[in-house]
Amino acid sequence: MNAHIRVRHPKEILESRASLSKAGGVYKTNEKFLEWITNHILASVVLFDIALIVPLFALPAPNSIKLTVGVISSSWIQWWALPALQRSQNKIQAQNDAKAEVDHETLTYLANLQDQQMKALAEISEALDKLK
């Protein structure tokens, strides 16, 4: 579908907000870094936990040490997972807000256009009534 001059795409709003919120290069660098962490490091932390917890069952150590290491390991994944999930939620919310704004702009434009059309139809109707 072709773009219309009066209807903005939500991506345009997101890009303009990103360029206004921070200095261009620094913001884009941080954004890419955070995205990389979300996509790669979080997965490696899960693998790290699996690689750490499985040998704990086989190690000849007291249960208190195994429990301590397990608790530290589960805390480790929370340190990474919670910020990554929050970042993903913030990104989705920004996309939803941009879409809602574009929808509102489009509906406002259509309502104004409808008002103009109804006014023109009323004028045409009056002109036709005068001709009768």
pLDDT tens-digit profile of 54-106? 777 777 878 787 778 777 766 666 676 777 777 778 888 888 888 888 888 88
For residue 1, is it within any domain?
A: no
| Highest mean pLDDT (candidates 33-42, 46-55, 96-105, 121-130) | 121-130
Position 30 in a domain: yes
Given a cut of 90, whether residue 120 has pLDDT beyond it is yes
Query: What pLDDT is recorded for position 39?
Result: 64
Residue 22, pLDDT > 60, answer: no
Q: Does residue 4 lie in a domain region?
A: no
Q: What is the pLDDT of residue 76?
A: 65
Average pLDDT, the chain: 76
Q: Cα separations (Å) of 22 from 19, 28, 85?
A: 6, 9, 22
Chain position carrying tokens 């920004």: 94
Q: In degrees rounded to 5, what are phi and psi of residue 4?
A: -110, 145
- Whats the size of the chain, residue-wise? 132
- How many domains does the chain fold into? 1
The mean per-residue pLDDT over the stretch 10-27 comes to 65
Residue 2 inside a domain? The answer is: no
Q: Please indicate, yes or no, if residue 83 is contained in any of the structural domains.
A: yes
- List the domain range (segments joined by +) for residue 34: 10-131
User: Does residue 80 belong to any structural domain of this protein?
Assistant: yes
Residue 119 pLDDT > 90, yes or no?
A: yes
**Paired tokens of 106:** 């489009």
Domain assignment present for 5:
no
Inside any domain, residue 126:
yes
